């Protein structure tokens, strides 16, 4: 899948005063967005008033907007999902994982977990090269999408473990559920 963002998007992303409005934050149904880059008000998170939004979040912000444009009632997880029964002690992460597991279902959760372990992938931790974003889009085809975001301008390439995760998820959820989203910058 291909997408794009502009120099104007990039400039707005780095401008605290314009960023949220430019990208449409808070997103519709913000209680369904579980993200390390989005705060409790549904806006892009900043550690302090002087800290700009980390540039690694730009691709995810563009992807969130693409998902919500297609399905406002979509559920979105980035970095706050994993394929195991383990629940974090951090309340916001625990809540996100419980919702992920509930919507995914125990059978599929454990199927992905067991396949990942058998293939040398780590299904339990928030990292481990799993796709950047998991999205559940009720009533859409496919309902589940696992999205690895790559920005062409940064030279970020698909790693072997990321490709293996996408193949595994395509096997379980269907080919169209595993997405490599390549974002180009356009004038």
Task: Report the DSSP beta bridge partners of residue 144.
Answer: 136
- State how far the alpha carbon of 38 is from the alpha carbons of 15, 154, 164, in Å: 16, 22, 28
Q: What is the pTM of this model?
A: 0.92
What average pLDDT does this structure show over 120-135?
Answer: 86
**Which of 174, 167, 79 lies closest to 121, judged by CA?**
167
Is a pLDDT exceeding 60 seen at residue 8?
A: yes
DSSP 117-151: HHTT---SSS-SS--SEEEE-TTSSSSEEEEEEEE
Q: At what angle do helices 106-118 and 160-173 cross, to 10 degrees?
A: 140
Phi-psi region of 24 (alpha: psi -120 to 50; beta: other; left: phi over 0): left
Task: State how far the Cα of 23 lies from the Cα of 162, in Å rounded to an integer.
Answer: 27
**81-118 pLDDT per residue, tens:** 999 988 888 888 899 999 999 999 999 999 999 999 99
């Amino acid at each position: 899948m291909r997408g794009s963002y502009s120099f104007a998007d990039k400039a707005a992303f780095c401008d605290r005063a314009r960023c949220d409005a430019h990208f449409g934050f808070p997103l519709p149904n913000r209680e369904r967005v579980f993200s390390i880059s989005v705060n409790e008000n549904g806006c892009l998170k900043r550690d302090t008033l002087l800290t700009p939004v980390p540039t690694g979040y730009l691709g995810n912000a563009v992807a969130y907007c693409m998902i919500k444009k297609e399905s406002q009632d979509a559920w979105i997880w980035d970095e706050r999902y994993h394929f195991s029964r383990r629940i974090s002690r951090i309340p916001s992460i625990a809540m996100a994982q419980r919702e992920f597991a509930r919507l995914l279902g125990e059978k599929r959760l454990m199927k992905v977990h067991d396949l990942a372990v058998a293939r040398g992938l780590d299904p339990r931790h928030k990292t481990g090269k799993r796709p950047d974003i998991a999205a559940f889009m009720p009533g859409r085809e496919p309902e589940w999408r696992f999205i690895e975001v790559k920005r062409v301008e940064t030279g970020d390439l698909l790693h072997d473990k990321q490709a293996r995760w996408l193949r595994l998820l395509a096997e379980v959820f269907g080919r169209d559920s595993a997405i490599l989203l390549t974002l180009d910058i356009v004038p």
